[in-house]
């Protein structure tokens, strides 16, 4: 299991067992908030890619991936369906 799978499993656990004070549980409870965060983080990735350090780009990319995983989980989607779509496009 790689780090994305582990993170996604943790997100799914927070969805099934919300922990008071958990940022992930808060995002999962409000789908619109998760959507907003994906948009915000995507803009920050663009800005980092345009004129900031490689480290900043890595940090913002990690934030975007996290929020995207939360959004997928909130919709009942998995990493496997994204992997399948990427594999389908590769052909």
72 φ, ψ to 5°? -60, -45
pLDDT score for 9: 97
Per-residue pLDDT tens digits for 1-48: 699 999 999 999 999 999 999 999 999 998 799 999 999 999 999 999
Regarding pTM above 0.85, the answer is yes
What mean pLDDT is predicted for residues 57-77? 97
Q: For position 31, what pLDDT does the model report?
A: 76
Residue 91 is predicted with a pLDDT of 79
How many whole angstroms separate alpha carbon 83 and alpha carbon 89? 10
Count of other CB atoms within 10 angstroms of residue 34: 23
- Find out if CATH 1.10.287.1080 is the number for domain 3-11+23-90: yes
Handedness of CA 57, 58, 64, 67 (dihedral sign): negative
């Amino acid at each position: 299991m790689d780090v994305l799978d582990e993170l996604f499993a943790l997100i799914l656990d927070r969805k099934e067992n919300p922990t008071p004070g958990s940022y992930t549980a808060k995002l999962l409870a409000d789908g619109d908030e998760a959507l907003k965060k994906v948009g915000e983080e995507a803009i920050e990735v663009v800005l980092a890619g345009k004129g900031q350090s490689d480290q900043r780009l890595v940090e913002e990319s990690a934030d975007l991936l996290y929020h995207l995983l939360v959004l997928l989980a909130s919709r009942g989607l998995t990493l496997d369906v994204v992997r399948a779509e990427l594999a389908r496009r590769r052909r």
